[in-house]
């Protein structure tokens, strides 16, 4: 197999591609990011996150060994992972709890956009199967980490 010779990239072409991708990001992604921030604020204002947090607190505190305050961060992680990580900071978590929370945030629900793609690609039934598999594996791994750490 032949490998073509390396060349210095055409700078005007590189800048043009970067500019086009930057414009695309600003048009396509920024509105969704702003909508996510808006939705998180609305859910907090209406105390919906607090209500759902109280419902799942036994699982989060019992199986995962995380404090009750981590429930809100885990729920927000479904909408915005970066905000969820930032919400863990004021909880003063131990190293064990930080590891568990990071693994759980990484494993469970990817994000809202991913679910939209899963529904489009696989349909609602298979998306629900994938969701149950994610939740089960996350609880299994998080609970196991809680036991061994």
pLDDT in tens, 88-99: 889 999 999 999
pTM flag (> 0.75): no
- Does a structural domain hold residue 39? no
**How many Å apart are CA 38 and CA 25, to the nearest integer?**
19
- Does a structural domain hold residue 7? no
Residue 62, domain extent: 47-148
Query: Count of domains in the chain?
Result: 1
- Does a structural domain hold residue 9? no
Q: Is the pLDDT of residue 144 over 90?
A: yes
Maximum Cα–Cα distance for the chain, whole Å? Answer: 62
- Does a structural domain hold residue 126? yes
Give the residue carrying structure tokens 């989060």: 60
As to burial, measured by CB atoms within 10 angstroms (0-12 exposed, 13-18 middle, 19+ buried), residue 146 is middle
**How many Å apart are CA 104 and CA 106, to the nearest integer?**
5
Q: Quickly state the pLDDT bin for 11 (edges 50, 70, 90).
A: very high
Using a pLDDT cut of 90, give the percent of the chain over it.
38
- Express each pLDDT in 42-58 by its tens digit: 988 998 888 888 888 89
**More confident of the two residues 64 and 35:** 64
**How many Å apart are CA 31 and CA 27, to the nearest integer?**
7
**How many Å apart are CA 114 and CA 103, to the nearest integer?**
18
- Does a structural domain hold residue 59? yes
pLDDT at 54: 86
- Does a structural domain hold residue 142? yes
- Does a structural domain hold residue 103? yes
- Does a structural domain hold residue 71? yes
Q: Quickly state the pLDDT bin for 141 (edges 50, 70, 90).
A: very high
**How many Å apart are CA 43 and CA 87, to the nearest integer?**
15
Which of 33, 37, 36, 74 lies closest to 52 in space, CA to CA? 74
């Amino acid at each position: 197999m032949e490998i073509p010779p390396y060349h210095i990239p055409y700078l005007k072409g590189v800048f043009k591609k970067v500019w086009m991708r930057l414009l695309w990001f600003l048009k396509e992604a920024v509105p969704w990011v702003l909508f996510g921030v808006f939705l998180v604020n609305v859910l907090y204002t209406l105390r919906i996150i607090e209500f759902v947090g109280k419902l799942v607190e036994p699982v989060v505190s019992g199986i995962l060994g995380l404090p009750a305050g981590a429930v809100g961060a885990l729920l927000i992680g479904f909408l915005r992972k970066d905000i969820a990580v930032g919400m863990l900071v004021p909880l003063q978590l131990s190293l064990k709890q930080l590891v568990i929370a990071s693994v759980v945030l990484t494993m469970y629900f990817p994000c809202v956009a991913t679910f939209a793609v899963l529904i489009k690609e696989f349909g609602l039934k298979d998306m629900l199967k994938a969701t149950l598999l994610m939740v089960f594996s996350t609880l299994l791994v998080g609970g196991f980490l809680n036991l061994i750490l």
